[in-house]
Chain A
């Protein structure tokens, strides 16, 4: 850590960790309800546990994004943050809003609009927090005068994410039109501007971890961003097929959304070649695992499993089944959970005292158990989904009867989710094991690859 103000990231990461743990509690509760019967039917029904599960996901990932940005911008712009105090107040307001919103959900105080359930007061606070955040970053960069492409892509993604949240504040009498604009937020986030954010972190980490040449990395970063938007913007159509839009969205959406994985292949090749090409290696090999892991798992979860059901002729059968949940989990985890965990793992040795730079055995167990667990969850959702499509949609068995016949996959889901949760538990344990440290320290040196670590 070269700048003292970077240490504010620690608190963001700590909040993100706590909320990540809580997210899984509600995921496991929701999965248990698939098996049923539900003793909590009138206390904590499925709609509430599921809503809390997905909202906590969004809140902790955004907390991680903000923390990681506060860590990265001083490094890139070579300056202290504009205001640590503002960053702290921003976190306090954000966390209080998050917890109050979740608390309200227990009483069903929400909009009933999928993934955008936040009631109006929460939405307004979200916008205020975003503005505080962007102002702080903007002033930091303005003061230093140094603005790199890597951070430009990151900030561009964050700024556009804030802008794209605005359609969520509007209300339409026509349900079809409200769905239409809901996707401007959700889809253009995860398959547009959030991929810019991921790309920015990825470039930063690869440059730091492999010593790859910045000019080359930033040139290709632009290509990736271009590919993301060329396919991703019109790719929104893969959510429009069956909601009441004109027919031309089907063929056009099929073609453009099928091109979305091109950018993700680009990202994986980008990570792989950065490491191959450069002869250098950073001692934090665990962070490298998370970084490359994120690029590869995104290609699998978002690219491959997204492509699997993005053509209208396939989506017609799989739309709104366990297949969707399969893809949602693998994609979100690979792209956004893992990139945040990569940034945390990279920053942690200098944010805490007593930690070895190269990562601990617990850290590796956390990595592999999460990966294995999430892969198993993907298979469980996937097999449940295939069975569901055949039984319910092709053979015409009733929904409820179908769900009864695929229970074994839900047992598998809970078993693999348990492995995953232990992996996350280990990560959280490893995070809090060492006390935070708020002093500037020397950066570790890159060494030629193959030379044993000290």
Chain B
């Protein structure tokens, strides 16, 4: 080969590759409206998109796995956390995590209620984009699909967990805190901890069933016709499940026998009514 031929190779090869690439780009544009549900890009989503950029979110978080690696991926966050939770969290992240324990904290952003509504709409739009099924399994922000894994070695060694020493990801709460934050803390610190038997990861059933999407499940149970308890709505249903676990039985031999749930029925006495309400507030935000 001489220099003229290698130049021809360089230019010809590049042009061919570029043409193929442009062809695929054109075809992608044809498919983008459907893949991205472009018809759902409402003014709210557009506002959220602006707020996302204005606050530089991408330089701590990833979205579609792109961004910085200092904070969790948010691609599917609205499928893991409900609107009430996200709203309370975005108003003041410090209410949910303890910087001394997690060693990182999201700084409070200057967001109006409308901004937050927009952000949630934007993130919800993102979560519904057809992106070839990524991530391959839900990426949790905190907690664990497997029991005990989220604890430090010291916590695993100590048998007397209290609200003050809860697992790594929770923040010690005070009575002034948002009830959702207090409920999240109780989930790990009640005695026995709910987290010992329940995960909040979709599809991860331990001694008890996963509590991901519990509200939707509650609605379904209420509407099923076989439900015999006293609850009229999802919140009451969750409340009842905590204080009278046998009022509704999850199908399956591993969760109950002879009409009695395996879940301890001690929470009605070991938790105060306010604490049960806080747990209900927290659990009903799980999607």
Contacts and interface: CB of A to CB of B under 8 A. Distances in A.
A177 B129 CA distance: 12
Given A33-B104, A45-B107, A179-B64, A233 B59 contact: no
Name the 10 nearest CB pairs between A and B, nearest first.
Answer: A396-B145, A320-B65, A112-B53, A36-B103, A47-B59, A242-B134, A226-B10, A229-B14, A222-B6, A399-B72
Interface in B33-61: 35-36, 38, 41, 46, 49, 52-60
A403 B69 CA distance: 10
Contacts of A244: 32, 35-36, 64, 129-131
A114 B42 CA distance: 24
Contacts of B161: none
B104 A400 contact: yes
Contacts of B227: none
A451 interface: no
Interface residues of B, number: 84
A442 interface: no
Interface string A88-119: 00000000000000000000101111100100
B228 interface: no
A5 B67 CA distance: 42
A219 B2 contact: yes
A179 B66 contact: yes
Contacts of B11: 226
Contacts of A30: 70
Contacts of B97: 400
Contact of B13 (A46, A108, A226): A226
A233 B18 contact: yes
A170 to B, nearest CB: 14
B104 A403 contact: yes
B260 interface: no
Contacts of A48: 56, 59
Contact of B140 (A229, A243, A245, A396): A396
A234 B168 contact: no
Q: Which of B17, B25, B142: most chain A Cβ within 10 A?
A: B17
Interface of B: 1-3, 6-7, 9-14, 16-18, 20-21, 24-25, 27-29, 31-32, 35-36, 38, 41, 46, 49, 52-60, 62-73, 97, 99-100, 102-105, 107, 122, 126, 129-132, 134-146, 149-150, 152, 168-169, 201, 204
A149 B54 CA distance: 45
Contact of B137 (A111, A256, A393): A393
Contact of B10 (A179, A229, A407): A229
Interface string A409-437: 00000000000000000000000000000
Nearest to A37: B99
Contact of B9 (A222, A317, A395, A404): A222
Nearest to B51: A112
Contact of A316 (B62, B134, B152): B134
Nearest to B31: A246
19 contacts: A34-B104, A36-B104, A117-B56, A179-B64, A219-B1, A225-B14, A234-B20, A242-B135, A246-B35, A247-B132, A256-B17, A321-B69, A324-B69, A393-B137, A396-B144, A396-B145, A398-B150, A399-B72, A399-B141
A247 B130 CA distance: 10
A108 to B, nearest CB: 6
A149 B107 CA distance: 53
Nearest to A51: B59
Contacts of B62: 320
Contacts of A114: 58-59, 66-68
Contacts of A398: 140-144, 150, 169
Interface in A236-270: 236, 239, 241-250, 252, 256
A397 B144 contact: yes
B32 A177 contact: yes
Of B38, B52, B57, B131, most buried by chain A (CB within 10 Å of CB) is: B131
Contact of B17 (A173, A230, A239, A322): A230
A400 B107 contact: no
